[in-house]
Amino acid sequence: MRYRLATRGSKLALVQADLARAALARRHPQHEFVLEPVETAGDRAPTLRLTEAAQEGVFVKELEQALLDGRAELAVHSAKDLPTAASPGLTIAAFLPRADARDSLIAHDGGTLETLRRGARIGTGSPRRAAQLLARRPDFRPVPIRGNVDTRLRRLAEGRVDALVLAAAGMARLGRLDEVHEFLAFDVMLPAPGQGALALQTREGSEAARLATEVDDAPTRRAVVAERAVLRRLGGGCLSAIGAHGVIEDGVLVLAAVVLTEDGDRVVRAHARGRDDDAVITEVVATLHAQGAAGLLHLAANRPLTGVRVMVTRADAQAGGLTRMLEDLGATVRACPVIEIQPLRVDVSRFAGVDQYDWCLFTSANGVERFFELLGQAGSVMSPRVRVGAIGPETAARLRQHGVEADLVPARFVSEDLADAMPAAMVRGTRILLPRAAGARDVLPDRLRAAGALVDVVETYRAVTPADLATRLPAMLAGVDVVTFTSSSTVRNFAGALNGAAFPSDCLTACIGPITAETARELGLRVDIIAQEYTARGLVEALARHQTSIQA
């Protein structure tokens, strides 16, 4: 059978994809594996400034779309380009054995970091690299530089910069290691999470996924997954520079990470080792935060959204926090709620006996508000014996306002992850109350029931379309630069109000997560930006990253 591998078309990407093709062909000689070059957004914008942390998948999205469209069965990525959030329906089926994860220095006149002249211009498109260079040599002048390896080396030869910092793995795969003057030690420069590793992505449950799994390198997977977990737990792609590197030594994960301000003036580091990967990751992240990493992980102070006109489609009751964060970064916000929360008639006696349940699960802040409203009508209070799960931090924060601390919040803020996290916290026959919106996806109750839970679903409210939305939407859209969507409901109501009218070609769409983005695509809307953390803050950070990249 013939399997197509989607890949970027650059020389390095094709070399890397051919490594993946060869690995698959050696393991499965009965099949044919061929390369399918695809142009990505990052390739079409060679002057775009990028961080080493994947920024909304500018080198990834088109390859993923090729998988979803059936134009390819596998996609080959540099692991460092992958967004921290997985795309629905797709999986990373394999990591090939990792190459050298270090960065390398190539100097115009030779030399090392220590011997380069004072004030030397160092070419790099990475804030992570620039920050670590400045931490070592504050006199350096980082110069933004993009393009493929040949383009960058040509600019070095022309004297536009005095030196370049490039991934050692890329230089090795291109056969150009003889041009490297220094390999930068990890105590000087930690790499981007996943640097040096190649990832094979496929559709979940496909035959291609099964084949790819057989070439997976377990030590590389453990190390890269740990590095990416650090990035995600720190905020997943904020503008501050983050480096991480893991290695497996005799079955032990050794993990190091660094967080810096972009000028390299402040640096915090952490290191841990152990056989329990999650414990090691947790220790590294906790150590970074104990040293003040949170203060370094702020968005750029220059208000990157200044002049950007953003439409907020959330219901009025929920829009305040998102609006404030956008305005704090300079955006001009246009409120256009496309949903209204309509309470449903509920037999309140069902809430009088809430203490009969072992767990109560909440999938939205609106669900929390309506639950406590009904609880009050029933003359009842939340029993301390009932454990509580929240789909994400915003829902958990709303619970906290009612004096309830969530016992469980999944790592990713989607129903699938909440469902996956629950079995470890329950036994067969556990009684679960799920108050939620009418028409919500059934993935959570279905999976819980399959795991042996007794689930009572109570629909307490409905998200409806405002009566005048179709009339006022065209005028509200005029002049808007970005429309934000924070749920599948906002997308459906927005698309319904458009009623087939064309979405403005010069307006971007920004989605709070992959489920919302999937709904948008299904309804014919283009998706430009997807938050890596599925919260209002994550959505704002994604907008800020996008705007910063196009301004650079």
198-203/74-78 β-pairing:
antiparallel
How far apart (Å, rounded) are the C-alpha atoms in residues 446 and 455? 9
482-485 β-sheet, strand order: 332-335, 309-312, 482-485, 508-511, 529-530
Farthest-apart Cα atoms in the chain, separation? 80
If one compares 505 and 301, the residue with the highest pLDDT of the two is 505
Stated as kind and residue range, the H or E segment containing 379 is none
Q: 3-state SS string over 58-72?
A: CCCHHHHHHHHHCCC
Say if residues 104 and 180 touch (Cβ distance below 8 Å).
yes
The catalytic residue positions are 81
> Lowest-pLDDT range, 42-51, 65-74, 167-176?
42-51
pLDDT digits (tens, 9 = 90+) for 72-110: 999 999 999 887 767 778 899 999 999 999 999 999 999
Q: Is 533 exposed, middle or buried (0-12, 13-18, 19+ CB in 10 A)?
A: buried
- What the block records as the tokens of 337 is 């709620």
| Averaged pLDDT score across all residues of the chain | 87
Cβ neighbours of residue 323 closer than 8 Å, sequence gap 6 or more: 312, 333, 335
Say if residues 248 and 101 touch (Cβ distance below 8 Å).
no
pLDDT digits (tens, 9 = 90+) for 259-306: 998 778 889 999 999 999 999 999 999 999 888 887 777 543 446 787
2-7/163-167 β-pairing:
unpaired
pLDDT at 551: 52
How far apart (Å, rounded) are the C-alpha atoms in residues 492 and 415? 19
Q: 3-state SS string over 205-240?
A: CCHHHHHHHCCCCHHHHHHHHHHHHHHHHHCCCCCC
